[in-house]
Amino acid sequence: MSIACLAHGYQEDRTTVTLSRNRWLGAVALIALIVLSACSSSANTTAPDSTPGSINVSGSSTVEPISTGVAERYKLANSGFNYKITGPGTGDGFKVFCTGETDISDASRKIKDEEAATCAAAGIEYTELKIAIDGMTVMTSPENSAVTCLSFPDLYALTGPESTGFDNWTDASALAASLGSNTVFPNADLSITGPGEESGTYDSYVELVITPIASKMDPPQESFSRPDYVASGNDNAIITGVAGSPTSLGWVGFAFAQENQDKIKELALAKEPNGTCIVPTEATISDGTYPLSRSLYIYVNNAKAAENPAVTDYVDYYLAEGTISTVLETVPYVNLAADQLAETRATWEAAKP
């Protein structure tokens, strides 16, 4: 009820109710206080108090859209919250994280032993939190009708350490056949564009595709991709490179490939030679049938979280019910299963200040 309404009621009743001037002024002051308090309570319901502060996040270009989406939503209700989120790559992200320059590191793979050692030497303790699942899409140009499915042995023959110098698809035929593949490669130029070594997508590709085969070769081969391809830490540049050659080959995170389906052609994959070809989709990545998938993470600097409430509140919001699932409606990654998300939340609850 407004003060005006109450005052009007007072005027109507003044013949039966007599108040001294001072008592009347006191009543009006009390009513005004009540109304102002009610207005304040109503405002807090729709616009919660802001947690002032800033966070600095860097790392995986794959995870960057998720962390940015969370930050944008959080800022809508917290105007005092500010953020800087960049995506130079998982490896580059850990470099600055392990020197204390960032609060959170986005990662499309687990931290490596040597990176963890660098953090430990700098006295930086952290909490690893799994937040989603992603696949990696192997792709070619839409003009390349000759290739629709590749096996892991095919990919090793085309992109592994023994394929240096191969500039025609057929150059990989003998190596692929020696690994049990009967794939017929086109007699066409081979132009490869993919992530650079600073990228978690590169590391995951090598771990899943190259290493298992390289380690079984006689003699065993080094676990890295061929060095003579166009490497970039920018996913959009990879898309442009693959789209720019009619018989190209490349790989990138599933989300970026989904966003650029009009420019590239996604290839189905089989883990074993001549195996079942699986197309990358949210369903096949989630159920594990698509062989080229990986978990996505954020790493939180524990000391930064303890000294900066904005870091803790941001991560709380990140893991709150409905946050990631809502963000993933616009970014095509895959939600964790309920038990995996519960485990992530429990890890954070045990670690946070």
| Per-residue model confidence as pLDDT tens digits over 155-195 | 999 999 999 999 999 999 999 999 999 999 999 999 999 99
> Which value, to the nearest 10 degrees, does the dihedral of the CA atoms of residues 85, 88, 90, 93 take?
-60
The crossing angle, in degrees rounded to 10, of helices 64-77 and 309-319 is 110
* Secondary structure of residue 301 in the 3-state scheme: strand
- Asked whether residue 334 carries a pLDDT value surpassing 70, the answer given is yes
Q: Report the pLDDT averaged over residues 100-116.
A: 97
What whole-number distance in Å separates Cα of residue 65 and Cα of residue 56?
15
HSE of 282 in the Cβ direction (CA atoms, 13 Å)? 13
What whole-number distance in Å separates Cα of residue 74 and Cα of residue 297?
19
Q: What are the φ and ψ backbone dihedral angles of 152, each rounded to 5 degrees?
A: -60, -40
Q: Report the pLDDT averaged over residues 306-310.
A: 97
Return the DSSP state at 141.
Answer: -
> Which value, to the nearest 10 degrees, does the dihedral of the CA atoms of residues 49, 54, 58, 62 take?
20
Extract the tokens encoding 182: 């009967």
What whole-number distance in Å separates Cα of residue 270 and Cα of residue 152?
6
CATH of domain 53-132+297-351: 3.40.190.10
- Asked whether residue 31 carries a pLDDT value surpassing 70, the answer given is no
pLDDT tens-digit map of 275-299: 999 999 989 998 889 999 999 999 9
- Asked whether residue 23 carries a pLDDT value surpassing 90, the answer given is no
The confidence score (pLDDT) of residue 50 equals 58
Instruction: Tell me the percentage of the chain whose pLDDT exceeds 90.
Output: 77
Position of tokens 């309404």?
Answer: 5
What whole-number distance in Å separates Cα of residue 171 and Cα of residue 155?
13
The confidence score (pLDDT) of residue 287 equals 87
Extract the tokens encoding 253: 């995170």
Using alpha carbons, list the distances in angstroms from residue 207 to 152, 219, 239, 245: 12, 19, 22, 27
First to last CA, the chain: 43
Using alpha carbons, list the distances in angstroms from residue 269 to 93, 121, 273: 29, 41, 10
* CB atoms closer than 10 angstroms to residue 222: 14
Residue predicted with more confidence, 341 or 33 = 341
Extract the tokens encoding 184: 């017929």
| Residues 6+ away with beta carbon under 8 Å from 112 | 94, 203
What whole-number distance in Å separates Cα of residue 302 and Cα of residue 317?
17
Position of tokens 């499915």?
Answer: 149
Instruction: Say if pTM beats, i.e. exceeds, 0.85.
Output: no
193 CB-contact burial (10 Å; exposed 0-12 / middle 13-18 / buried 19+): buried
Using alpha carbons, list the distances in angstroms from residue 329 to 66, 239, 254, 287: 10, 22, 14, 18
Residue predicted with more confidence, 124 or 3 = 124
> Would you list the domain boundaries of the chain?
3-40, 53-132+297-351, 135-293
ω into residue 219 within 30 of 0, thus cis?
yes
Instruction: Tell me the percentage of the chain whose pLDDT exceeds 70.
Output: 86
Mean pLDDT of the chain: 87
134: which strand partners? 294
- Asked whether residue 135 carries a pLDDT value surpassing 50, the answer given is yes
The fold of the 135-293 domain, in CATH, is: D-Maltodextrin-Binding Protein; domain 2 (3.40.190)
Position of tokens 């005004």?
Answer: 32
289 CB-contact burial (10 Å; exposed 0-12 / middle 13-18 / buried 19+): middle
Comparing 53-132+297-351 with 135-293, is the CATH topology the same?
A: yes
